[in-house]
Amino acid sequence: MAQRTRLTKQTINDMFAKFEANNPHPEGELDYVNIFTLLVAVVLSAQATDAGVNKATKALFEVADTPEKMYALGEDKIRDYIKTIGLYRNKAKNVYALCKALIEQHNSEVPEDREALEALPGVGRKTANVVLNIGFGHPTIAVDTHLFRIANRTGLAPGKNVLAVEKLLLKVIPKDHLLNAHHWLILHGRYICKARKPECYHCIIVDECKFKDKVMEAGKK
């Protein structure tokens, strides 16, 4: 349940100082070889696990690491490579169309522009934010289910929808931590601040968190 109490500026500073001390150079868990394959991997990761995407893209990226090579495979072959991923038929269609758009409209380059990215097939705001952050080093925040939960649960950036949370996160997170904030929060939500059973008993920001129902012993609900 969302906690409507906001954290103070000092508490937020303390929180991100702890994230940095614990993991100075956080990285995403999707495998890729260049910005194009990063874009494809993020498109494929919608409603799928990073591990599942990595398993499917390992072979795909070995044979197709540019828009031209992937477009040359054709939609059917792309589909065969990614058939272990959820919604693979529609994703194959989007990836094929995405490659065509990159070739015809962007000289086969992934655009460093939100509007241009979001105009590509299969690319929404969250995907664009991930690519801008990881691929181009922009201080963007991609709010997925993990970030939305943490922002509300901890009191970091309470909001009723994804966009509201994103805008508040960009406002309250210290500027010198914005580049890595996306990674820290996703990893924290994935492995510690879980939806059903948060592992507060070994959470590094337990003192800063406003969550009222902290789980302070393993095995407790």
End-to-end CA distance of the chain: 14
Residue type, 123: V
Q: Cite the active site residues.
A: 126, 144
Cα angle 9-142-202, degrees, rounded to a multiple of 5? 60
Residue ranges of the binding site: 193, 200, 203, 209
Residue ranges of the binding site for [4Fe-4S] cluster: 193, 200, 203, 209
Neighbouring residues of 39: CB distance < 8 A, sequence distance ≥ 6: 98, 110, 117, 120, 123, 127, 131, 135
How many other CB atoms are found less than 10 A from the CB of residue 70?
26
Q: Whole-angstrom Cα distance, residue 210 to residue 152?
A: 9
